[in-house]
C-alpha cells in the first residue's frame, strides 16, 4: 500500500470513529436542555481563552528551540511556523501526522537530519505525557474516594507507561549503541538483517536528538516550559465554564484536559467525537454535572482549543508558500 493510500485509509477510519463517537455522545441528548445551555451563555468570556491558549503555544516554541539547541541553534521565528503547521495538521488529520510534518519542515529549512528533528518532537511529547500524568495524579488525589478501583488502576498504569518510555529514551541517549543493539535484536534474530541495519541507522540518528536528556540544567528548563504549557492550557479552560455559567471546582479544568487527553488517544481528526464523548458523557458521570451542560461544555471546549490553532496553522502555511514562490 502506498503512503498516500495509507493516509487515505487512516483518514477514513478516523472519520468513521469520529462519526460513531459523535452518535454515541448525542444519541440520547435532550436537545431543549442543550439549547438552553447555549442560549444563556455569556460568549464574551470565550475570548479570554485566546491569550492563555496563545501562551501555551509560545511556551511550546521556546521548549522546542531548547530541545533543538544540542542538535543545532534554531531561532524562535524559524521554529514557530513548522510547529503551528504541525499542530494544525494534527487538528484536521488523525494519527498525529502533524508531528512528522513539522519535523520534516524544520529539517528542510534548518538542515537538520529528520530523525534528529523528530527525536526532539518525541521528547516534547513525552514531557507532555508526563505533565498530563501529573495532572491525572492531581485529579485522582482530589477525587480519590469517588473513583472506582479499575479507573485508579488504569490511570496509574498509564503513568507507569510514560515512565518506562522515559527510561528507554534516556538509555538510548546515554548508551546509544548498546541500547540500539537491544532494540534491533529481534529483527536480527528473525534474520531481517537489512531491516535491522536501517533501524539501527535511524535509531542512532534519532539518539542525536536526545542530547537534551543528558544536561540537567536544560532538563529543568524544559520541565519548567512544559509546566508553562499545561498551566496555560488549564487557565484556557476556565473561561468556558464561566461562558456557560457552570459550576467550576478547582480541579475541573485539569480534569477536562485529562479526559480530552485520553480522548485524543483514539486517532480521529482533532479528537472529534472522542473528546466530545469523554467530556460530554464521562465528565458528568464522574462529577454529577448535568449531562446537557457537559455536552455544551464539550462542544465549546473543542471549538476554542482547535479552531484558533487551525486558523494560525493555515496562516503560517500560506505565508510559507508565498515565501517559497518568491
The answer to the question of residue 8 being in a domain is: no
Instruction: Give the range among 10-14, 100-104, 118-122, 272-276 with minimum mean pLDDT.
Output: 10-14
pLDDT band of residue 58 (cuts 50, 70, 90) is very high
224-281: pLDDT as tens digits: 999 999 999 999 999 999 999 998 889 999 999 999 988 887 778 778 899 999 999 9
Count of C-beta atoms within a 10 Å radius of residue 318: 10
The answer to the question of residue 224 being in a domain is: yes
> What distances in angstroms separate CA 218 from CA 65, 207, 211, 225, one per listed residue?
11, 17, 10, 10
The answer to the question of residue 110 being in a domain is: yes
Contacts of 242 (CB under 8 A, 6+ apart): 42, 45, 48, 248
Q: Is the pLDDT of residue 177 over 70?
A: yes
pTM of the model: 0.83
Residues 201-227: b if buried by 16+ CB within 10 A, e if exposed:
ebbebbbbbbbbbeeeebeebbeebbe
The answer to the question of residue 102 being in a domain is: yes
The answer to the question of residue 5 being in a domain is: no
Q: Is the pLDDT of residue 82 over 90?
A: yes
> Which span out of 28-42, 52-66, 85-99 was modeled with the highest average pLDDT?
52-66
Tell me the CB-side half-sphere exposure of residue 310, using CA atoms within 13 A: 11
The answer to the question of residue 314 being in a domain is: yes
Q: Is the pLDDT of residue 297 over 90?
A: yes
Q: What domain count does the chain have?
A: 1
CA pair distance 63, 228, nearest whole angstrom: 10
- Residue 12: the pLDDT is 78
pLDDT band of residue 3 (cuts 50, 70, 90) is low
Look up the domain containing 290 and give its range. Answer: 16-23+30-325
> Which span out of 91-95, 199-203, 286-290, 305-309 was modeled with the highest average pLDDT?
305-309
3-state secondary structure of 128: helix
Q: Measure the CA angle with vertex 75, ends 74 and 76; round to 5°.
A: 120
- Residue 184: the pLDDT is 85
- Residue 158: the pLDDT is 65
The answer to the question of residue 42 being in a domain is: yes
- Reading the block at residue 239, the C-alpha cell is 473561561
Tell me the CB-side half-sphere exposure of residue 155, using CA atoms within 13 A: 22
CA pair distance 198, 170, nearest whole angstrom: 21
Q: Is the pLDDT of residue 314 over 70?
A: yes
Mean pLDDT value across residues 82-93: 89
The answer to the question of residue 2 being in a domain is: no
**Percent of the chain's residues with pLDDT above 90:** 38
**Is 87 in contact with 93 (CB distance < 8 Å)?**
no
Amino acid at each position: 500500500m502506498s503512503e498516500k493510500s495509507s493516509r487515505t485509509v487512516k483518514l477514513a477510519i478516523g472519520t468513521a470513529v469520529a462519526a460513531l463517537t459523535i452518535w454515541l455522545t448525542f444519541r440520547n441528548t435532550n436537545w431543549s436542555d442543550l439549547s438552553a445551555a447555549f442560549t444563556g451563555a455569556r460568549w464574551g468570556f470565550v475570548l479570554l481563552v485566546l491569550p492563555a491558549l496563545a501562551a501555551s503555544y509560545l511556551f511550546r516554541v521556546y521548549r522546542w528551540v531548547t530541545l533543538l539547541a544540542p542538535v543545532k541553534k534554531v531561532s524562535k521565528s524559524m521554529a514557530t511556523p513548522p510547529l503551528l503547521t504541525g499542530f494544525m495538521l494534527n487538528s484536521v488529520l488523525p494519527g498525529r501526522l502533524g508531528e512528522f510534518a513539522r519535523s520534516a519542515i524544520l529539517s528542510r529549512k534548518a538542515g537538520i537530519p529528520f530523525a534528529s528533528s523528530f527525536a526532539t518532537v518525541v521528547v516534547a511529547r513525552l514531557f507532555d505525557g508526563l505533565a498530563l500524568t501529573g495532572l491525572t495524579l492531581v485529579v485522582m488525589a482530589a477525587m480519590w474516594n469517588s473513583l472506582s478501583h479499575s479507573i485508579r488502576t488504569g490511570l496509574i498504569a498509564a503513568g507507569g507507561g510514560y515512565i518506562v518510555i522515559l527510561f528507554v529514551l534516556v538509555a538510548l541517549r546515554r548508551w546509544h549503541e548498546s541500547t540500539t543493539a537491544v532494540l534491533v535484536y529481534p529483527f536480527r534474530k528473525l534474520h531481517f538483517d537489512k531491516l535491522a541495519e536501517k533501524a539501527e541507522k535511524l535509531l542512532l540518528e534519532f539518539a542525536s536528538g536526545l542530547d537534551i536528556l543528558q544536561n540537567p540544567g536544560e532538563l529543568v528548563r524544559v520541565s519548567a516550559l512544559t509546566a508553562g504549557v499545561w498551566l496555560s492550557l488549564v487557565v484556557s479552560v476556565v473561561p468556558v465554564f464561566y461562558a456557560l455559567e457552570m459550576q467550576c471546582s478547582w480541579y475541573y479544568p485539569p480534569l477536562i484536559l485529562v479526559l480530552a487527553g485520553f480522548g485524543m488517544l483514539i486517532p480521529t481528526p482533532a479528537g472529534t467525537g472522542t473528546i466530545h464523548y469523554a467530556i460530554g458523557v464521562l465528565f458528568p458521570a464522574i462529577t454529577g454535572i448535568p449531562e446537557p451542560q457537559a455536552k455544551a461544555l464539550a462542544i465549546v471546549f473543542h471549538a476554542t482549543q482547535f479552531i484558533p490553532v487551525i486558523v494560525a496553522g493555515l496562516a503560517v502555511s500560506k505565508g510559507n508558500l508565498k515565501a517559497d514562490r518568491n
